[in-house]
């Protein structure tokens, strides 16, 4: 019932926004924020009622759609998807607060786009039917395309929106062909049924490659990463937060749920390929990040590096590897979202993201710089923060499989320290070039849950790991 209530809360908020006049700006904002906040509370109730002792899907919803073709809308939550649902509702609430004053043009469409995105992303994380997963996976492109194309900050925003749409849509077409093949072979696209089917090794390889084309673009992995920095630079702050915090996780989630869950033999077969591609991606994007002059583009490249490290841990195909990958995925959501919000605070004041324009902010914005310093340390994996726990467990799992890969993966942490500390040094210290007030109460409030989540995950990660364990154990063993 709670999952139904969550979905209908968001749907009700969307319908309510449609009928509110476009000139009622405050009422529109309050309605959108109240809807997203209520969704977050409901997601916490789902966590409270979640049974961590079983790997079975809970809060099941089954709606007949095409009974004659044995295709039905089936939704459910397990230990793998639970925290992604909670994080989705949290991050959208934060984004609406962050955009409270910065978005004025076409406000109603902006708020509708965000609530529709929130609903679709939750449907992606809870979908237990391949057809509907594909439908939702593709539908999310439309509102994000609008967010980048309409509320982007520069003239290249249209190009960035089309680049985002073209890359992700093209890759997903191969996934559709794979789903059609699976339906033809099995007669259903229900995930729970498919998890009991053993495809031949030859079929698994081709199916795996088809899914890989779609998920690798979303992560993104080399050489499919071109769209991400461009989209980040052009998107508004809230759009960048959703891109880094959630949309990148859709490809990662697809790898967990479908590549590992349905095609285990092919996943093992392609593990050396994944390791090699991910290591190249980590080193290339880390080095590229160091030479960036745009704040957003720098953080975008660091996101690619972190996500590629997560993918390596995922394809160790061990319980600790998959658990640490999920934990690090959530951690990346907290830290990268906060870093893009930090850039948004600067952009709202001076309307520039060129690094050389900023200097000496520690003298005029001490609270802001303190928050920036905290997330800089979290980004490079300081003990006590979420990234340290995730990266430590990732390196343990990778070392057990391949020590050479572990060496290069650990080298990424050195590069991470280089670009993180150098960026902070350039912005915080030096001669004062700009004058401004420190962050206000609204800005401080939307950073608080991200700080809290980063600390809790770093200090006591077992809160998260124990709920994932049953589902991941079943996934890896199967």
* Paired strand residues for 129: 190
For residue 63, the cross-strand partners are 73
Q: What is the pLDDT of residue 438?
A: 82
Q: Where are the domains of the chain?
A: 270-478
Specify the pLDDT at position 56: 87
* pLDDT score for 154: 66
pLDDT for residue 211: 92
pLDDT tens-digit series, residues 424-439:
988 888 887 777 778 8
* pLDDT reported for residue 196: 86
Q: Residue 400, preceding bond cis, omega within 30 degrees? A: no
Residues of the chain falling short of pLDDT 50: none
Phi-psi sector, 51: left (phi>0), alpha (psi -120 to 50), beta: beta
pLDDT at 96: 92
pLDDT of residue 34: 94
Residue 64: phi and psi, rounded to 5, are: -65, 130
Cα 411 from Cα 145, distance rounded (Å): 35
Judge if the upstream peptide bond of residue 467 is cis by omega within 30 degrees of 0. no
pLDDT number for residue 477:
58
HEC profile of the chain: CHHHHHHHHHHHHHHHHHHCCCCCHHHHHHHHHHHHHHHHHHHHHHHHCCCCCCCCCEEEEEEEEEHHHCEEEEEEECCCCHHHHHHHHHHHHHHHHHCCCCCCCCHHHHHHHHHHHHHHHHHHHHECEHHHHHHHHHHCHHHHHHHHHHHCCCCCHHHHHHHHHHHHHHHHHHHHHHHHHHHHHHCCCEHHHHCCCCCCHHHHHHHHHHHHHHHHHHCCCCCCCCHHHHHHHHCCHHHHHHHHHHHHHHHHHHHHHHHHHHCHHHHHHCHHHHHHHHHHHHHHHHHHHHCCCEHHHHHHHHHHHHHHHHHHHHCCCCHHHHHHHHHHHHHHHHHHHHHHHHHHHHHHHHCCCEHHHCCCHHHHCHHHHHHHHHHHHHHCCCCCCHHHHHHHHHHHHHHHHCHHHHHHHHHHHHHHHHHHHHHHHHHHCCCCCCCCCCCCHHHHHHHHHHHHHHHHHHHCCHHHHHHHHHHHHHHHHC
pLDDT of residue 135: 92
Separation of alpha carbons 169 and 163, rounded Å = 10
């Amino acid at each position: 019932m709670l999952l139904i209530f969550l979905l209908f809360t968001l749907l009700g908020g969307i319908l309510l926004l449609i009928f509110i006049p476009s000139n009622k700006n405050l009422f529109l904002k309050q309605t959108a924020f109240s809807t997203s906040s209520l969704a977050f509370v409901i997601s916490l109730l789902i966590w409270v009622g979640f049974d961590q002792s079983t790997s079975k899907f809970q809060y099941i919803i089954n709606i007949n759609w095409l009974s004659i073709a044995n295709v039905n809308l089936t939704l459910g939550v397990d230990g793998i998807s639970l925290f992604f649902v909670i994080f989705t509702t949290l991050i959208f609430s934060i984004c609406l607060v962050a955009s409270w004053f910065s978005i004025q043009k076409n406000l109603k469409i902006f708020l509708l786009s965000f609530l529709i995105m929130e609903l679709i992303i939750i449907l992606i994380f809870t979908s237990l039917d391949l057809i509907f997963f594909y439908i939702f996976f593709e539908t999310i492109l439309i509102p994000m395309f609008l967010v980048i194309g309409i509320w982007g900050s520069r003239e290249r925003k249209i190009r960035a929106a089309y680049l985002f749409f073209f890359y992700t849509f093209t890759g997903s077409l191969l996934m559709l062909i794979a789903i059609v093949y699976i339906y033809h072979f099995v007669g259903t696209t229900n995930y729970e049924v498919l998890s009991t089917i053993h495809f031949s090794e030859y079929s698994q390889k081709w199916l795996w490659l088809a899914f890989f084309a779609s998920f690798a673009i979303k992560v993104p992995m080399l050489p499919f990463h071109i769209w991400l920095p461009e989209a980040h630079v052009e998107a508004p702050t809230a759009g960048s937060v959703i891109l880094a915090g959630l949309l990148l996780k859709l490809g990662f989630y697809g790898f967990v749920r479908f590549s590992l869950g349905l095609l285990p033999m092919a996943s093992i077969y392609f593990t050396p390929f994944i390791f090699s591609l991910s290591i190249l991606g980590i080193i290339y994007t880390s080095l590229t990040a160091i030479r960036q002059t745009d704040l957003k583009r720098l953080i975008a490249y660091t996101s690619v590096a972190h996500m590629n490290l997560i993918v390596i841990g995922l394809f160790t195909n061990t319980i600790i590897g998959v658990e640490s990958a999920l934990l690090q995925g959530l951690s990346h959501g907290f830290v990268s979202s906060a870093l893009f919000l930090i850039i948004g605070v600067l952009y709202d004041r001076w309307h520039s993201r060129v690094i050389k324009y900023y200097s000496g902010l520690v003298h005029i914005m001490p609270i802001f710089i303190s928050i920036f310093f905290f997330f800089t340390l979290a980004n490079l994996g300081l003990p006590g923060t979420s990234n340290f726990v995730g990266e430590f467990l990732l390196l343990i799992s990778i070392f057990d499989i391949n020590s050479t890969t572990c060496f290069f993966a650990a080298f990424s942490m050195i590069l991470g320290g280089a670009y993180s500390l150098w960026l902070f040094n350039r912005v915080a210290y030096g001669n004062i070039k700009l004058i401004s007030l420190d962050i206000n109460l609204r800005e401080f409030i939307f950073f608080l849950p991200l700080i809290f989540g980063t600390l809790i995950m770093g200090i006591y990660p077992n809160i998260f790991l124990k709920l994932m364990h049953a589902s991941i154990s079943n996934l890896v063993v199967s």
